[in-house]
Chain A
Amino acid sequence: MWQYIIRRLLAIIPVAGVIAVFVFLLLHLAPGDPAAVIAGNTAMPEDVARIRVKLGLDEPIYVQFVTWMKQLLRGDLGESIYSNMPVTRLIAQRMEATLCLATASIIIAILLAVPMGVLAAWKAGTWIDHLVMIFAVFGFSIPVFVIGYILIFGFSIQLHLFPVQGFVSLREGLGPFLRTITLPSLALGIIYAALIARITRASVLEVLAQDYIRTAQAKGLSSGTVLIRHALKNASVPIVTIIGVGIALLIGGVVVTESVFNISGLGRLVVDAILSRDYPVIQGIILMSSGVYLLINLIVDISYKFLDPRIEY
């Protein structure tokens, strides 16, 4: 098991390397010029040229790549072209908001989706099942920004229960934190919940059709015990898989949610960086996101072992 974990951790290095090459090439071959953006609308062509030289953008692309890779190997993600601040510091400034939003969204999604999916499977074909599936279809079909605006309109503008925008750190108190994080994580969590609920229902349905479930029922076990101890545990591998895979969905959703609720997280940082072609920041965030994604996949793989002892590594 430990050998497997170490092997997987080491495998992250070449994958991250490939991602780094692709990210660098995609960014530098895409149209746009940070020097021209920095120089502004009223700049003359020679101003843009001077800034290009200062930023080293006049160098051949392979020279720029080697320079960046050298920095990267030293653990240095470089400096933002615009703010001149280290990328690691910018990421650190924005990390808390995004982590809180992502975590709260996952918690909301799991708390909503798993019971709903199990219930829908248990009551398959009834109105409860239909209701859950309608929720799943709508939740997955409606874009996160629409859900966000609906929540803002209802809970902030009409009922004044939550603020329209912003993020308050947990360090400033649980109350203010919950007030700012509830609506955005609900908006993002609903979409995620829809996906998990569908998979949970399908997995549990499949397990419920197995002989050992019938045996358990024949033994006289209560419905709850059959459902939780026997059905859900055995249906959990696909559910955990979809939770892990859905992290990618969450990363995309965070970008939109942070814009709608004006949360100063990594999503907004990357959007601003893309719009202004702030290469070091974009590269840094994509690399970090890729690393997180690879790590989550590893955790999911490891969790299989605990959920299903038949799985061997």
Chain B
Amino acid sequence: MRSHGFMVYDTLFGLDADFKVQPQMVETYTVSADGMEYSFTLRDGLKWHDGTPVTSKDCVASIKRWGARDGMGQKLMAATATLEAVDDQTFTLKLQAPFGMVLQSLAKITSNVPFMMKEEHALTSPDEQVQEVVGSGPFRFVKEEFKPGVNAVYVKNEAYVPRQEPASNTAGGKVVHLDRVEFAWIPDTNTCANALMAGEIDFIQVPQADFLPKLKAAAGVKVEIFDPLGIQTVARLNHLQPPFDNPKARQAVLWATSQETALRAAAGNDPELFAVCPSMYPCGSPLASDVGSDPLLKQDFVKAKQLLKEIGYQNEPIVVLHVTDDFIISNQTLATAQNLRKAGFNVDLQAMNWSTLVARRAIKKPASEGGWHIFQTWFNGPDFLNPLEHMAIGAACDKAWFGWPCDEEIEKMRAAFGAEPDSARQKELAQAIQKRAYEVVTYVPLGTVYQPVAYRADRLEGLIKSPVPLFWNVRKK
């Protein structure tokens, strides 16, 4: 969906290769001295795929629609007093409360991305799907050829006016050299790899780890890591249910964890495909830090057992939800279960597919009544770039992400981070939040897995390195 969005729609701002915010649809913008008023002017020549010009009214409606659904967007809208079109190319945003993440919010590249759409479409209820796909991005969607679950077809948007800067992540000039791009869903990973090797397809977004050696050895095929942040793998504990309503039990899990074991289980033994990462923000990103991570990095079953003894753990079953249809989550869950057993937990591993898990994890009842204690998943790196976006670091009790950690201190610091315009101070706050999150154990970071892409290097050039597969700048050799 996100890749589809970047093909068809454009964004006001993009992120460059260093994850710095750069204007995209916006030509110029100004920020008042107190950081409370923003004015944005759109570039000349922006047009929708139906030929009508992009106006500031379209952008205002699009931001409001996105702001009703996205977590960062909701925070931005909560801090916003007015968001208004001044003329066809200019609109202003006035804050009622300090919010230091305005530009970062508008430049975000992961769910949900603030794509700009026509006002008439953006006015659709945020809970309803927009039926027409009319963007202003570098490619046009060919609705007539769309087969859900099979393929989506895009053709070059001849009217698109790219920026002059070189392409860099989602920022810079989106110059299209391909007349037609087809996204094909190939569910069988073996078939997908074979199709690439046989030259029937040109690019695989996520080749399965088992096939990487075969793909690396194939003539004309290149396997490369495009996403410098990787995916962040996590174990989530249910803070509502004993024993994990007690921080000591959660810390016991931290002491029992070995990121390296979890990562090798998920990514194999190729060190290029994983990295131990003690930071709750992606390693290599601006806010990354190892503060507070000692228990995670020094696996110690004796300490874990001692903590369980202190809380009087009586061998009650710990229900661990085991997703079997995701290679990474499945293998990591098995590694976690093994470490928990070694630490003295009585693990009840319950196998299920992902769609069952997403329903089960919403249940707040005790495990004996259909609830759970631990589940594992992963997030894209950009989801964790700052404590405001970071779903797993938050501790807003009932309003927190599944697992419902509850810590007033963390939430106060997150709010302060959001209001803070100064990047140095933001970094201090981010570290303080991480330190506290490790104490509370809002979640257990299990490290970074790098998922390479595989493509026909003998046919394609100019692919952009980004967490999102992007197809502007790409040429056929």
Contact = CB atoms under 8 A, between A and B. Distances in A.
Interface in A141-158: 149, 152, 156-157
A34 B71 CA distance: 21
Given A36-B355, A37-B355, A262-B191, A31 B186 contact: no
Contact of B383 (A33, A42, A94, A262): A42
B197 interface: yes
A54 B129 CA distance: 11
B132 to A, nearest CB: 12
Contacts of B359: 31-33, 36
A261 to B, nearest CB: 7
Interface residues of A, number: 47
A169 interface: no
B402 interface: yes
Given A42-B111, A259-B188, A264-B150, A165 B200 contact: yes
Interface in B328-358: 352-356, 358
A82 to B, nearest CB: 7
Interface stretch (A220-228, A268-276, A289-297): A268-276
A150 B127 CA distance: 47
Given A41-B379, A271-B187, A164 B198 contact: yes
A165 B195 contact: yes
A264 B150 CA distance: 6
Given A42-B111, A272-B149, A165 B186 contact: yes
Interface string A232-260: 00000000000000000000000000011
B131 A262 contact: no
Given A42-B383, A45-B362, A149 B190 contact: yes
Given A36-B355, A54-B127, A275-B355, A157 B150 contact: no
A165 B191 CA distance: 7
A23 interface: no
B396 to A, nearest CB: 9
B131 A163 contact: no
Contacts of A157: 194, 197-198
A277 interface: yes
B313 interface: no
Nearest to A261: B191
Contact of A260 (B131, B150, B191, B355): B191
Interface string A265-291: 000110110011100000000000000
Given A45-B362, A84-B131, 18 more contacts: A31-B352, A31-B360, A37-B358, A44-B401, A84-B129, A90-B148, A93-B150, A152-B194, A156-B198, A160-B198, A165-B200, A262-B187, A262-B188, A264-B147, A264-B150, A264-B151, A268-B149, A277-B355
8 contacts: A32-B358, A37-B354, A47-B69, A48-B362, A51-B127, A93-B147, A262-B191, A268-B187
